[in-house]
Amino acid sequence: MKENLSKSNLQRHVRVMYRNNWFGGDGWTYYPVTVTISAFCPVCRQPRGEPHPYHFCEDGEWFTVDCWENPCGHADLYKNCLIESGYAGAKPQERK
């Protein structure tokens, strides 16, 4: 995947899975969304890993999202990326 940092190199655009049960919904709504997050780990501020496409099947439907491994070792959960981006429906909470 080509470099997806913005001009400022402070943010990146990634595809993550939205699941409404993470935010109090009934659990039947899920779909990939593209969000803008920091290019840096929210825990230690080191650069995040480079995203690459991940294809998977759920309930007979195929989806593509991005996944990455942060060199610092901290894991980025899609739920926390949604909260960080301010995506509608994502409620700020303590990171878990």
* 75-84 pLDDT per residue, tens: 999 999 999 9
Report d(CA 19, CA 6) in Å as an integer.
26
Question: pTM of the predicted model, to two decimals?
Answer: 0.80
* 6-48 pLDDT per residue, tens: 446 899 999 999 988 777 777 688 899 999 999 999 999 999 9
Element (H, E) at 84: helix 78-85
Nearest CA-CA partner of 93 in 23, 1, 11? 23
